[in-house]
Amino acid sequence: MSPSSHSAERVAEKVQTLSDLELAALLCLITKEHAIVEAEPSLLDPLCLELELIAGSVFGLSSTVLECSERTTLDTFGNGLLVEDDDISYFSSPPRNSRDTVCKRLSLTLASEVFAYMQNLIAFLRLHRAVSGGISALATRHFELLVRALAPLHGLNYVPPSLVALAARKIYPHRILLTAPENERSMQWGSSLEAVREVLDGVTVDDVIEDVLQQVEVPL
């Protein structure tokens, strides 16, 4: 077994021991992006405590909790994230060589068929009759970023379609905007409003994503 394969297996084994929140935090650190964690109002305080524990005990990071409202300004938000540390070591790192590297970048293969599958999912989401918007270029960038981050965490040096579907379920739920029946595109060529209302009644964002995943042909 090559060193890179052994490292990939070790990473995958460690990932399997992480909780859902720990894995979400790890993906944020890898991709350098934010995450949205949903919870019932009564569970927000325990959720904040768990995230603080994860930041400190799992990743060795300091954390802060900001309670935002409609009156929160950008300056207030930014100042709340600042870390007070006058220690010079905070601003400089000791020199390192290749032996100090904990994790090396693994080569990742994204087959043309899988890339086409991703593009088809994006196109079908945009054209879905229940969608009015939200499938932006930024969402597409985050989609591909998450796909590429998930593969190594599963011990893979390639992207299978199943990880593409998983990434779609994580990236798009909070982005997709559902259309009102009167704005559904088939109304432009004479569809019945009552019929459209009946079709769209009860349709959720998750329903849209699952519908598209069922429609788009998965590469073999």
Domains of the chain: 3-100 (no CATH), 112-215 (1.10.8.80)
pLDDT of residue 16: 83
pLDDT of residue 99: 44
pLDDT of residue 25: 92
Residues 6+ apart with CB under 8 A from 28: 34, 35
pLDDT of residue 167: 95
CB 175 within 8 A of CB 48: no
pLDDT of residue 97: 52
pLDDT of residue 102: 41
pLDDT of residue 103: 45
Token pair belonging to 145? 């970023």
pLDDT of residue 49: 93
Token pair belonging to 103? 């994790």
Token pair belonging to 34? 């934010």
Angle value at C-alpha 21, between 15 and 22, nearest 5 degrees: 40
| CA–CA dist 30, 212 (Å, integer) | 28
CB 167 within 8 A of CB 147: yes
In the predicted model, residues of the chain with pLDDT beneath 70 are 1-8, 83-106
DSSP H/E element including 132:
strand 131-133
- Residue 12 has what DSSP assignment? H
Token pair belonging to 206? 């998750």
pLDDT of residue 124: 97
Helix residue ranges, H only, 34-108: 44-53, 74-81
Q: Is 132 left (phi over 0), alpha (psi -120 to 50) or beta?
A: alpha
